[in-house]
Amino acid sequence: IRIDGENSWIGRAQPTEIAAVAVRDFALRLPARNEFGNSYQFSIECGARTTTGSIYSWADWTRYLLSAASYAKSRPPRGTHVMEAYMPVLAWIAAEKIDPQPTRRARIESFFEEELFNCSYTPDGEPLCFPHRIQNHAFVIDLCREMYGLDGDLKWRRRADRLVTYLLGCRGADGGLYAHHGRQHYTSVIYPARSLYEYAESLRADEPKRAAEIIDALRPVFADLLCRRDNIGTEGAPCYEDGAIACTAQQLAFWAWKEKAPEYLPAAEAVMRGHDCVEWRGPDATTHGASVRFWETFWAIGWRNCLNTPHGWSAWTGEAYYFLYLASGKLEYWRKFLMNLTACL
């Protein structure tokens, strides 16, 4: 094996046996060459055949988190109709928990009080615009939950609870969460059912009755996903879409894990077996494990496609495998999660 053009071999087989050695049998140890890790080019030669690819060596995870928070601070989110624009705030909050900074904290407060709960929502959490985008409201619940964990201010719970009530009012007769006045199935546009459950979990110590009410209200929502599997609605084009399929699987696996509901795990596994057809496979660490997608890159930023590179929604694929691992304990899912995470990095 040649790493960056230099001979290198660490493994359980001799170089003469390389043709019979599976990739999982290699144990390459590559030190990070800078603070964010490094990508190494490799080639494996066997007779007249050569395979090339890349390996990524991780650095300390806090470096990625703090770097993401710093980048987000330099390009702060604005009030918008897409919840993805709010996602950098999670990096801010997580970074603030491990490395508090007064200027960052002030910027977090400014975003919430002057933008989010001024332009998009009332100070009490009532949606002011784009009420049909229930994935936005679910993510704001996530943000409020994280902020309560950061400072313990009850205003975050008041705001989140208002949105919880709003989202539970979006359930259809079949139990699914619907947008556009009940016309479009939205349970798997991001992961609103999981967001509601995680909020309920955060209430268990202080408000067990309210937590139980929310979880009971979610039972038909998850049961609807169990019946539908990959026959779900999505936002945008009606297609077999990588993000919504992965979000279906991750929510099924999440419920199987949290509620000890064994019938949900085979359904989640079946959905992700189908999802494999939209996952990138190859010897390049920068793409292996990512999912393929066609529309956000074309309409939002002018690229022609993301059929050969990770994109934002590839992260849902990683989360699906993460919860499948937690629900099943199968290392196959853990490896796929790490491969996806590496591609995203």
Full-model pTM: 0.88
Confidence category of residue 12, pLDDT binned at 50, 70, 90: very low
Average pLDDT over residues 282-305: 74
Question: In this predicted structure, what is the pLDDT of residue 329?
Answer: 96
Q: What percent of the chain has pLDDT over 90?
A: 45
Please indicate whether residue 27 or residue 267 has the higher confidence score (pLDDT): 267
Contacts of 7 (CB under 8 A, 6+ apart): 1
Question: In this predicted structure, what is the pLDDT of residue 16?
Answer: 43
Arithmetic mean of pLDDT over the chain: 85
CA distance 174 to 256: 20
Confidence category of residue 321, pLDDT binned at 50, 70, 90: very high
Confidence category of residue 72, pLDDT binned at 50, 70, 90: confident
Whether the pLDDT of residue 337 is over 90: the answer is yes
14, two tokens: 């001799």
Question: In this predicted structure, what is the pLDDT of residue 15?
Answer: 43
Question: In this predicted structure, what is the pLDDT of residue 27?
Answer: 52
Average pLDDT over residues 263-279: 96
Confidence category of residue 22, pLDDT binned at 50, 70, 90: very low
Average pLDDT over residues 124-131: 87
Confidence category of residue 19, pLDDT binned at 50, 70, 90: very low
Confidence category of residue 172, pLDDT binned at 50, 70, 90: very high
Whether the pLDDT of residue 145 is over 70: the answer is yes
Whether the pLDDT of residue 11 is over 50: the answer is no
Question: In this predicted structure, what is the pLDDT of residue 146?
Answer: 95
Question: In this predicted structure, what is the pLDDT of residue 81?
Answer: 75
Question: In this predicted structure, what is the pLDDT of residue 307?
Answer: 65
Confidence category of residue 139, pLDDT binned at 50, 70, 90: very high
173-203 pLDDT per residue, tens: 999 999 877 788 999 999 999 999 999 999 9
75-90 pLDDT per residue, tens: 777 767 778 788 888 8
Whether the pLDDT of residue 20 is over 70: the answer is no
Q: What percent of the chain has pLDDT over 70?
A: 84
Average pLDDT over residues 31-44: 71
85-120 pLDDT per residue, tens: 888 888 889 999 988 988 888 888 888 998 889 888
